[in-house]
Amino acid sequence: MGQCKCHAHECVQVQNSKEESTLISEYWKILLSSVMLIGGIAMNALDFVFFQERYVLFLWYLLAYLPVALPVVKEAWSSIIHKDFFSEFTLMSVATIGAFYIGEYPEGVAVMLFYSIGELFQDQAVDKAKRNISDLLDVRPEKAMVVRGGRLISEMPRLVQVGETIEIKAGERVPLDGTMLSEAATFNTAALTGESVPRKIRCEEEVLAGMIVTDNVIRIKVTKPFDKSTLARILELVQDASERKAPAELFIRKFARIYTPIVIGLALLIVLIPFIYSFINLQFYFLFNDWLYKALIFLVISCPCALVISIPLGYFGGIGAASRLGILFKGGNYLDAVTKVNTVVFDKTGTLTKGTFEVQSCQCTSEISQKELIRLIASVESKSTHPIAKAIVHYAEKQSIEFIPTSNVEEIAGHGLKAEINNDRVLVGNARLLLKFHVTFPSELLSIVETIVVCAIDNKYVGYVLLADELKEDALKAIRKLNVLNIQNIQILSGDKQSIVTNFAEKLGIAQAYGDLLPEAKVRHLEELKRNKEAKIAFVGDGMNDAPVLALSNVGIAMGGLGSDAAIETADVVIQTDQPSKVATAIEIGRITRRIIKQNISLAFGVKLLVMILGASGLATLWEAVFADVGVALIAIMNAVRIQKMIK
């Protein structure tokens, strides 16, 4: 498994090639058996002379039987060797060999043929679901630009060695952990810290995989190999997703282990009871083949194919449909768990908000107009690459404000910028910058919780610009969709100031919003919610600081596009598109999947019970048994595949 992960692309190509060749082989087997079965039935109906010979009939149908039966018989034998005596393969083998014994050749072939068709449908549906999940993972970083011999070489992250230097362009995600070699750069760290303020990292400081460079081309020295990264562990989690069975799936598997020996015993009793009764009542004529035929019908009907195939397929269908929409469920058990959610708790920064800045308002003194204040601040900030500076410059450009030439621009680390405009000294930055230069300013500026950029001309305060994070485009839609799904208890937990959190909550129509929370405070809040046994909680977050609450909730949902690796690994569901509205979509997919599976269980049990009674009483033939078994399995498979079309 480790080797496959190291050579992901090669493995996928080889696997696809093998799957293609297996699929062609299966098609040929099914086609050959179908042609021979239909041909045999037609020749029998037309009374072909040579076809009336018993040995000809037997050989013809044996040749039709073997292509589709041999794989099943092999599986049955393998199961018996591993002490699994009562598998579905054993049932199918016993029933069809018995049909041949009593001369019901077409029925014997038909049972295996339709079973093989059902298996083919199942395999294709599962493969499609797996491909959707694989496609979802393909959006993750696949290359690193490594500096080797003075040249940049594109390399897969797994082949980059510790100690090598890699280059990352502005807008790209850092593929590996390392130490900063460039002088300085600004990073979007919302995914890791949960805070909306970008972080400036300087030479020799640590850079983590998952951060996004926002301004400069940088170089870092790699400190950890790829296989130690969380990205490698995510791949492993996805590969193991199919092994995390849902409760319904686990129940059916346990049920089949008990159910199969019981029905084999009942089939034996269908033959034995009349045989014993014939000794008690001498007038009762016991014909072994007749009662064996009834027992075989009972066996074929009782085979739990529809349940064993369609229920796992239902969960695969749900997982596949979700992955196509950018939602990754890490197992069928989480599809079940999400259907019970009645409380949704959101982190704010990077989950409901963009994690980027926009100018919200501008306050100035009587000595200057708002337009002039924006012009001054934007002119100075145009020399900076900081995201806050870019937001102000972008705002000024949208307002068609022309910039003033600046000179002697100096950056004062952690404070802001100093520049000269028309022989005046202009200070642009935070309140600490004004304190540093002993500029008097209104004390209320220190109590403003939002991000502000202040300005002073020749040591005289003239005003400030207020910036804030913005709601994501579909944040309001997310809350509305959850309300439509009858989820009324929606809350926000955030490390941001209470006033900011309250403001966003009011815009979204959320009554309960809690700010000023450290990660441990979020955990305490969630523990308090969980004291109510009726509450089934989904927590939605994206930062490393959200990992504890993601693990504590009934269903942890992580934003995977910009989300931290820790959050993605801890979560049960990953939303790759970073859209909060997909939380409601995930719940909806879970509910549709559960409804389809319930339909399949009811259909399988209902039809089988009816035909079992008819078969045991001699009113159903082996053909009806074939329909009850394989026909119901096919219908259940089609119903499960329907999930893909129902979810858009």
Residue 461 contacts residue 365 (beta carbons within 8 Å):
yes
Determine the pLDDT at residue 369. Answer: 93
Starting at the earlier edge strand, list the strands of the sheet with 416-421: 353-364, 460-471, 451-457, 424-429, 416-421, 407-412
- Which DSSP string do the residues of 136-178 spell out, in sequence order? HHTTS---EEEEETTEEEEE-GGGPPTT-EEEE-TTPBP-S-E
347 is catalytic: yes
Determine the pLDDT at residue 224. Answer: 85
**How buried is residue 394: exposed, middle or buried, by Cβ count under 10 Å (0-12/13-18/19+)?**
middle
Determine the pLDDT at residue 528. Answer: 92
The CATH fold of domain 354-471: Calcium-transporting ATPase, cytoplasmic domain N (3.40.1110)
Using DSSP's 3-state secondary structure scheme, residue 388 falls into helix
Residues ≥6 apart with Cβ < 8 Å to 373: 362, 364, 455, 462, 463, 465
Using DSSP's 3-state secondary structure scheme, residue 46 falls into coil
Residue type, 403: F
Using DSSP's 3-state secondary structure scheme, residue 221 falls into strand
Residue 593 contacts residue 643 (beta carbons within 8 Å):
yes
Determine the pLDDT at residue 95. Answer: 77
Using DSSP's 3-state secondary structure scheme, residue 181 falls into coil
User: Buried (b) or exposed (e) across 138-172, using 16+ Cβ within 10 A?
Assistant: eebbeebbbeeeeeeeebbbbebeeebbbbbeeeb
Residue 558 contacts residue 550 (beta carbons within 8 Å):
yes
Domain ranges for the chain, please list them: 2-136+239-321+590-646, 332-352+472-571, 354-471
Determine the pLDDT at residue 486. Answer: 94
- CA 356 from chain centre, in angstroms, equals 26
Determine the pLDDT at residue 131. Answer: 60
Tell me if 332-352+472-571 shares its fold with 354-471: no
Is CATH 3.40.640.10 the right assignment for the domain spanning 332-352+472-571?
Answer: no
Q: What angle do CA 602, 605, 610 make, to 5 degrees?
A: 120
Determine the pLDDT at residue 190. Answer: 54
Query: Within the chain, which residues score under 50 in pLDDT?
Result: 1-16, 136-139, 191-195, 230-232, 234-235, 237-239, 241-243, 245-246
Catalytic residue, candidates 177, 215, 336, 347: 347
What sign does the dihedral 95-98-104-108 (CA atoms) show?
positive
**How buried is residue 634: exposed, middle or buried, by Cβ count under 10 Å (0-12/13-18/19+)?**
buried
Q: How do strand 555-559 and strand 218-222 relate by DSSP bridges?
A: unpaired
Q: What angle do CA 235, 238, 241 make, to 5 degrees?
A: 155
